[in-house]
A and B are shown apart, each in its own frame.
Chain A
């Protein structure tokens, strides 16, 4: 088993990064595998999955976005190239621009609201007693745990036109107040889920409700790591709550906030399940976002998978641009 030739080969394959491998000098025991091969063998299944299910389809998606892929092609006729026709077509379509607007607006508003509410609750949790904090954490966890489809179902029910509790609650408001705020006082039978704007209002409430717990718990975890002396010192110096938050909490939690922001952006950019339930399938074209638009183009008859793929490419590029900064940050700052 003393396979000296593998040692030589191992030496011929210096590691790409980092410290010298102290262990590669050691002989393998019983496994019969030269040391340097082991990590590659361990990686094979994972690599196959990532290459076959994620990287290769990405390339296919890009290629398909330049092809006409309809019913005949799905049945096996080779796809023909149409140049950039799919792209010119979607850029000329109004639905694309309204989808893009819906996607971006929804993401920006939801990310902002989730972060604000989540941070506020996280800060609150940090100041509650242990028992009370556990109680609240268990509560918000149960909101976070609800599957996206069920979230959609719940909020569709809460905002139901006839028997929904939101309309009931709005009717409770004093008439003058309701008039003042919304210009109306009778909410009975108000259909929330017919119009794109109100669909997105409900969607925002739904997604913020379901995702603020994660932010809150993460912020709480971050706060626990900040030494109490800092706050003590700030208090002694007469710093107010807001100022303490701005000058101590915020800077120290910056890495946490960076991650949370990016994760929220990724999640909210491609929201699908909740929207699908709230609008009852891909029917209301004005309320499409890019995911839904791509889905509808590709899978509603007649299937236009080529333009579906083109929309998907646009969505992917958008996400990559938005998150590129974050990826670079991680690659740069972390010894990986």
Chain B
């Protein structure tokens, strides 16, 4: 029934109206509007996902299909050669597993230390009023404006002096520093969101401060802690510049550093580098999709609200 009336002007008319009726045949217009919107949605989807798809598909294409001036949207032949090569032969003298492991150690180490520190500090800020609190908050804010790239030189020298050069621990320490201010900033909104009355009820029932924290506050803040931790994990996992200068022995490289070594030596082995990139990307994508909602609200709330 909807197709009979009013043919023209899908675009101009649909864009102007949010939902319901407008002029001639509301149903037709509405349907055309929905089609236009969905088309735009699909285009956005393709723009966003195509490069990712291209990375993954290149990783499984044969070299014949990679090094061609033709467009081969879907590989007609799937090969695991590239994946096999990066896992066994690897790059810069080690299998890619070594770099994956290093990245995982750095990222997890950062998260474990960072989560504890952030939770303590966030509780202090959100639950207590004390002298110096405002100054601390302002420091937290300003410190986030200092580009990490600027601290590269002094931190490099300090790490050397402390004997942490070429050690994953050094990278962990640096990454805790890079992620903590934002971690605290984000987590405090989660702590503040837990109603105080719950803790007060626990006190009245005779629970100690520590018990209250462990049994009441902690479980309620846990989701926020997860979101904050994942944020730190991703930051540490992706970090390139410090890993580049603090690790000299190739067995200590993290993934971002190792990927650089695919370039250059006798041309670029695109199949291998795409296999490596895909392996590096997968954990992050999984985490992103897991906490996507909370992360956005955390980022924005952390930045907007006090």
> Interface residues, chain A, CB within 8 Å of chain B?
13-19, 21, 26, 28-31, 36, 38-40, 42-43, 45-47, 49-50, 52-58, 60-61, 64, 69, 74, 121, 124-125, 127-129, 132-133, 135-150, 153-155, 157-158, 160, 162-163, 165, 167-169, 188, 209, 213-214, 217-218, 221-222, 228, 231-232, 235, 240-241, 255-256, 259-260, 262-263, 266, 269-270, 272-273, 276-277, 280-281, 291, 294-295, 298-299, 305, 308-309, 312-313, 315-316, 319-320, 323, 327, 330-331, 333-336
Contact = CB atoms under 8 A, between A and B. Distances in A.
29 contacts: A16-B129, A29-B207, A31-B210, A38-B128, A39-B125, A40-B124, A46-B117, A47-B121, A50-B140, A52-B177, A53-B177, A53-B178, A132-B37, A132-B41, A139-B44, A139-B48, A140-B48, A146-B284, A154-B55, A163-B69, A163-B270, A218-B296, A273-B256, A298-B152, A305-B153, A312-B149, A312-B151, A312-B152, A327-B141
A209 B160 CA distance: 37
Contacts of B285: 141-142, 145-146
Interface string B138-180: 1111111111111111111110100000000000011011101
Nearest to A29: B208
Contacts of A146: 51-52, 55, 281, 284-285
A54 B177 contact: yes
A54 B146 contact: yes
Contact of B141 (A139, A241, A277, A331): A331
Given A46-B117, A61-B154, A149 B177 contact: no
Interface centre among B136, B147, B209 (most CB of A within 10 A): B147
B304 A255 contact: yes
Nearest to A138: B289
B203 A127 contact: no
B18 interface: yes
A256 B305 CA distance: 10
Contacts of A45: 116-117, 120-121
Contacts of B203: 26, 29
A153 B277 contact: yes
Nearest to B285: A145
B130 A15 contact: yes
Interface of B: 15-18, 34, 37-38, 40-42, 44-49, 51-52, 54-55, 58, 66-71, 116-118, 120-121, 123-125, 127-158, 160, 173-174, 176-178, 180-181, 184, 203, 206-210, 234, 237-238, 240-241, 245, 255-256, 259-260, 263-264, 270, 273-274, 277, 280-281, 284-285, 287-289, 292, 296-297, 299-300, 303-306
A309 B68 CA distance: 45
B116 A214 contact: no
Contacts of B66: 163
Nearest to A189: B69
A15 B130 CA distance: 5
Contact of A269 (B48, B138, B147, B288): B147
